[in-house]
Structure 1
Amino acid sequence: MTDQPSPRITPMAALMLLALAAVWGGSFFFAEIALREVPPLTITLHRVFWAVPILFVVVRLMGLHLPRAPKIWGTYLVMGALNNAIPFSLIFWGQLQIESGLASILNGTTAVFGAVVAGVLLKDEPLTLPKIIGALFGVAGVAAIMGVDLLSGIDLRNLAQLAVLGAALSYAFASVWGKVALAGQPPQMNALGMLIGSTILMIPVALWVDGVPRFDLSASVWAALLAVAALSTALAYLLYFAILKRAGAANLMLVTLMIPPFAVGLGAAFLGETLGSEALIGFALIAVGLAVTDGRLFRRRT
């Protein structure tokens, strides 16, 4: 019996990682445009709603069928809340006060949060010293971004940054929930079920908070809404699962470091956004935290 080759980043997987970073980094850019005319919760509803028919077509073409067990759909509702409804809404609300590039950098703490949450809740992913050190670097990066003024008073900008960090933490809990509760389901079906669940959750919430959605939007805003649904959600999840199969979960974590450059670049090129040195220092610290958490770079040097 031959050993299975360990997952690695092939040239095709590397291109797919770049594509995933681009479409996920673009979500911050698209949201910034959509926020000109659409409130945050309604953007979240647009994002998940329009992605559902796209993934439904993909699932049907693959010959997969919707599950009938109510328990599975309850699981999808929880996954939709943790991985879509809550984090998308928090990030879009945060972008009302902070730049899209800064939001993407703070969102980069997801992988570090994920390692710590998994270490606490999952027996097969223990909380090791590298994970703790990586988390400390991540906290240092966040502190560098938010600055010493955080403790001097609460303002909307600080709350917006905390909201994005809350979204990263929600993603971390989603990864644990998905591993525990959805391991036996086809991954593409999990993506569709999760988006259906988050759509069901967001319809009453968006209607209650934002009111009936407007449809007399400008062409640029409609383009941004459709792009964030089709590219940054439907296509992103298809790339996500394809990379997971080709390169493994550890390599997939690397996309977290690749998203901010795309988001920062798009914001600077088309929205005139600029980030201070504290944001770049914070990103560097978060990147070191992810590298320490992942561990492979240091093992290779050893």
Structure 2
Amino acid sequence: MSLADWLMLLALSGLWGGSFVFTGVAVKELPPLTIVALRVGLAALILAAALRVLRVRLPVDRQIWATFLAAGVLNNVVPFCLIVWGQTHIASGLASILNATTPFWTVLIAHALTDDEKLSGNRLAGVVIGFLGVIVMIGPATLAGLGTDVVAQLACLAAALSYALAGVYGRRFKRLGVAPMTAATGQVVASTLLLAPIAIMVDRPWTLDLPGAATIGAVAGLAALSTALAYVLYFRILASAGATNLLLVTLLIPVSAIGLGVLVLGERLGPGHLVGLAVIGVGLAAIDGRLVAGRTR
């Protein structure tokens, strides 16, 4: 990965780390399907407006739209619904730990389905070390909740698996010649077309109480920052660094979430946070491979 790839990965982790905070606020007043439908629907409007300003048109090719639809299901519809629902039953810390298993699934899926992202010792070791760092950072005590809401935990694990499949599947946008901005827009438009009718039928949003300013702000943040801007970065990194490297972002999301807590909420970093951050750094260095290669030479 280049320096630009690492910087984009850090930015993406901040945007997605904020999504756990936004979701934690929104679920207090809105049902999960409505939150997810608003998230992708507003993001679709934002990205479509951006394409119009840039004078870029969405493709009309059926194969590309079939790819948009499949990517939307794997990257938005399935994981967003499962994580938001899971967060109504388990703590955000445990949800983010389960989400951090995504690189492990990605390494295995990419090894099985691609020719250029095969499993290596340093990649596997780095993923395991990084995951341990996530547990240390969030706090091993968080794992005490394992087993109490098994279905919700399985939902978060299934979301992580869906993200991994989406990362590998999304590689085809580069082969189809679809630019990152266009891929991000097409994906959230397709997700909106799928989710909006379901949310209307299930949640009947016209019967819900008008949410407060905090919830409206949280949904706006989810759409504009954690979805629209995040997926533009997502597809840029995917095109340049591959699925395995891209989904290392889930190891960094807890770092970003805790950092946001320090900056925005005035929380303090404890020794466990610093140790966890160091362990995650070691894991990322092992996956990147250059430090190991340099020492070997």
What TM-score do you get using the length of structure 1 for normalisation?
Answer: 0.78
Cα deviation code 1:13-65 (max 9, x no counterpart): 66544432222110000000000001112111111000001111222233321
- Indicate which of 78, 99, 102 corresponds to 2:70: 78
d(CA) in 1 for partners of 2:135, 2:237:
32
Taking the TM superposition and a 5 Å limit, the aligned residue runs for 1:94-105 are 94-105=86-97
- Indicate which of 197, 216, 234 corresponds to 1:204: 197
The change in CA–CA distance for 1:85 and 1:163 in structure 2 (over 3 A counts) is same
d(CA) in 1 for partners of 2:175, 2:209:
39
TM superposition shift of 1:116: 1.4
- Aligned 8 A contact 2:99 2:156 in 1: yes
Taking the TM superposition and a 5 Å limit, the aligned residue runs for 1:209-224 are 209-212=202-205, 214=208, 216-224=210-218
Taking the TM superposition and a 5 Å limit, the aligned residue runs for 1:168-247 are 168-180=160-172, 183-184=175-176, 185-212=178-205, 214=208, 216-242=210-236
The change in CA–CA distance for 1:143 and 1:257 in structure 2 (over 3 A counts) is closer
The farther-off stretch of 220-229 and 105-114 is: 105-114
> Which residue of the partner structure matches residue 256 of structure 1?
250
> Which residue of the partner structure matches residue 85 of structure 2?
93
Cα deviation code 1:58-79 (max 9, x no counterpart): 2223332122122321221110
Unaligned runs of 5+ in 2: none
d(CA) in 2 for partners of 1:241, 1:99:
29
TM superposition shift of 1:282: 8.5
- Indicate which of 57, 61, 75 corresponds to 1:69: 61
d(CA) in 1 for partners of 2:278, 2:198:
37
Q: Equivalent residue of 1:65, what SS?
A: coil
d(CA) in 1 for partners of 2:127, 2:241:
22
Cα RMSD of the aligned pairs, angstroms, is 3.6
The farther-off stretch of 283-292 and 24-33 is: 283-292
d(CA) in 1 for partners of 2:111, 2:164:
11
The change in CA–CA distance for 1:121 and 1:16 in structure 2 (over 3 A counts) is closer
> Which residue of the partner structure matches residue 163 of structure 1?
155
The farther-off stretch of 164-173 and 135-144 is: 135-144
Residue 59 of structure 1 aligns with an amino acid whose one-letter code is L
- Aligned 8 A contact 1:94 1:161 in 2: yes
The change in CA–CA distance for 1:292 and 1:8 in structure 2 (over 3 A counts) is closer
d(CA) in 2 for partners of 1:142, 1:266:
16
Cα deviation code 1:118-143 (max 9, x no counterpart): 11111222233444445655787899
Q: Equivalent residue of 1:168, what SS?
A: helix
Indicate yes or no: 2:32 matched with 1:40.
yes
Residue 23 of structure 2 aligns with an amino acid whose one-letter code is A
d(CA) in 1 for partners of 2:129, 2:43:
35
Cα deviation code 1:185-208 (max 9, x no counterpart): 122111111101111111233234
What TM-score do you get using the length of structure 2 for normalisation?
Answer: 0.80
The change in CA–CA distance for 1:215 and 1:301 in structure 2 (over 3 A counts) is farther
The farther-off stretch of 129-138 and 16-25 is: 129-138
d(CA) in 2 for partners of 1:48, 1:180:
22
Q: Equivalent residue of 1:197, what SS?
A: helix
The farther-off stretch of 202-211 and 87-96 is: 202-211
- Indicate which of 2, 8, 20 corresponds to 1:8: 2
The farther-off stretch of 168-177 and 66-75 is: 66-75
The change in CA–CA distance for 1:175 and 1:94 in structure 2 (over 3 A counts) is same
Indicate yes or no: 2:79 matched with 1:51.
no
d(CA) in 2 for partners of 1:104, 1:38:
21
- Aligned 8 A contact 1:48 1:199 in 2: yes
> Which residue of the partner structure matches residue 28 of structure 1?
20
TM superposition shift of 1:108: 2.1
Residue 69 of structure 1 aligns with an amino acid whose one-letter code is D
Q: What's the % identity of the aligned pairs?
A: 46
- Aligned 8 A contact 1:25 1:263 in 2: yes
